[in-house]
Amino acid sequence: MRVLLVEDDPAISAAIGKMLERQRFAVEAVNDGERGLEHILRGTYDLAIVDVMLPGRDGFSLCRSARGEGVTTPILVLTARDAVEDRIRGLDAGADDYVVKPFDEHELAARVRALVRRADRPLQTSLSVGTLSIDPASRTAGVADRPLDLGATEFRLLELLARNRGITLSRAQILEKIWDYDFQGSSNIVDVYVSQLRRKLKAAGTNARITTVWGIGYKLVADTPKHAPSGA
């Protein structure tokens, strides 16, 4: 497995590189955001680990540009920022996961393995719920010929609900599948993203909708068209 490491701190880069090599990964390291983007656009890596605070181009910008160019390589962001807003910003920029510095070596290794396993799973070519269609390979969704404008995390949540159509998923299950960890404190992050998705689905005019199962969680269903009763 080939890993791209984009980290400008020599000591941290060396420590992560040695850890990954012990896990039998081949590591290529660069120390600024512009070079990091050039490398990830080559599409030859199984995973990219990207620091947020980089010279030239920050990690958020790198993620957005890579995803905008169609790069599907899993990206794990390293950040010293622990605010919920920064976590959301990183995930919406296209990152698949993140680790807050200082981090435990074993946790980082576990997250790397989890992302690689996720990337290795075969994806269905397409999913549909009612009039809503989802393409996991291109990370796009739409109704008829009208695409939905979704952020990276919004798409992952919609895909998860579509793969479990009609099945109620708890908030804890959604957190585990989408973010791979529980937010600390009383964050309502799942509710926020569900609310955003509901607005976009309604605006798109699809009959697919996210319903709340009180006390449990959420599920994606498709409303059945109502037929007018026949006349006497």
* Higher-confidence position of 230 and 118: 118
For the stretch 22-37, pLDDT in tens is 877 888 999 999 999 9
pLDDT at 188: 83
Average pLDDT over residues 128-154: 88
pLDDT at 182: 45
pLDDT at 35: 93
Give me the residue label for tokens 């269905």.
124
- Asked if residue 41 has pLDDT above 70, the reply is yes
In this structure, of 64-73, 82-91, 186-195, the range with the lowest mean pLDDT score is: 82-91
Rounded to an integer, what is the distance from CA 225 to the centroid of its chain? 33
Task: Identify residue 87 by its one-letter amino acid code.
Answer: R
Helix axes 59-68, 84-92, angle to 10 degrees: 30
Q: Which of 20-24, 38-42, 78-82, 218-222 reaches the highest mean pLDDT?
A: 218-222
Domains of the chain and any CATH numbers = 2-120 (3.40.50.2300), 127-222 (1.10.10.10)
The strand pairing partners of 5, in sequence order, are: 29, 49
Q: Do 59 and 6 touch, CB atoms closer than 8 A? A: yes
pLDDT at 172: 82
Say if pTM beats, i.e. exceeds, 0.95. Answer: no
Structure tokens at 140: 């796009």
**CA–CA separation, 121 and 171 (whole Å):** 23
pLDDT at 131: 94
Q: What angle do CA 192, 115, 148 make, to 5 degrees?
A: 40
For the stretch 71-99, pLDDT in tens is 888 899 988 766 677 778 888 888 888 88
